[in-house]
C-alpha cells in the first residue's frame, strides 16, 4: 500500500493506493471534491510510472461531462488514462480543475518519450465497482477501483 500526499497553499490531500482482487484502488481524502479529484489523477499517473521522469513542458485541457459526481469522476480519470495510452501524453500535475456543469482540467506534462519513460503497469480503466464519494462537513473521501 502506498500513500501519496498532495499539498497546496489551500489544501492537504492524502491518497492511499491499494490492491484489491487483482485491481488497483485509490482512497483519497481532502477538503473538497476538486482537490481530491486532482490528487487522484496525479496518483493514477504515478501508479503507471515515476512522476519525476515527466517534465512540465506543455499544457493540455480536458473537459468531461456527467450526470453526477460519480460519473464526472469516472469520466475524468478515464480521460487521463486515454491521454497516456491513446495520445501518448503524460500529465505530471493538474494545474487547475473547475466544475460548472462540466468538469474542466488543465494538465501540465509532456509527450511520452520511450527513451525516458517506462510504463510500469497498464491500467485498463477506472470503474464504478465499489466507487464511493462521501462528503462530511469538512472533508471529501473518494474510494475508486481501476481494472488492471
Q: What is the pLDDT of residues 79-122, one digit of tens each?
A: 999 999 999 999 999 999 998 889 999 999 999 999 999 999 99
pLDDT tens figures, 101-110: 899 999 999 9
> Does residue 6 carry a pLDDT above 60?
no
Return the CATH number at 100.
3.55.10.10
pLDDT, tens digit, for every residue of 32-75?
Answer: 999 999 999 999 999 999 999 999 999 999 999 999 999 999 99
Cα–Cα distances (Å) from 34 to 7, 29, 78, 90, 105, in that order, read 13, 11, 16, 20, 10
The parent domain of residue 108 ranges over 2-147
Number of domains in the chain: 1
User: Grid coordinates representing 56?
Assistant: 512540465
Q: What is the pTM of this model?
A: 0.90
- The whole-angstrom distance between residue 72's C-alpha and the CA centroid of its chain comes to 12
Q: Which residue has the higher pLDDT, 3 or 63?
A: 63
Amino acid at each position: 500500500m502506498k500513500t501519496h500526499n498532495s499539498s497546496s497553499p489551500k489544501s492537504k490531500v492524502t491518497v492511499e493506493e491499494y490492491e484489491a482482487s487483482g485491481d488497483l484502488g485509490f482512497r483519497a481524502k481532502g477538503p473538497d471534491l476538486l482537490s481530491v479529484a486532482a490528487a487522484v489523477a496525479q496518483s493514477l499517473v504515478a501508479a503507471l510510472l515515476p512522476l519525476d521522469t515527466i517534465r512540465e513542458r506543455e499544457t493540455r485541457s480536458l473537459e468531461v461531462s456527467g450526470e453526477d459526481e460519480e460519473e464526472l469522476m469516472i469520466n475524468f480519470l478515464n480521460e487521463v488514462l486515454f491521454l497516456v495510452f491513446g495520445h501518448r501524453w503524460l500529465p505530471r500535475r493538474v494545474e487547475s480543475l473547475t466544475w460548472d456543469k462540466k468538469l474542466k482540467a488543465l494538465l501540465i506534462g509532456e509527450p511520452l518519450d520511450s527513451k525516458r519513460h517506462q510504463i510500469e503497469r497498464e491500467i485498463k480503466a477506472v470503474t464504478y465497482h465499489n466507487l464511493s464519494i462521501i462528503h462530511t462537513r469538512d472533508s471529501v473521501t473518494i474510494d475508486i477501483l481501476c481494472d488492471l
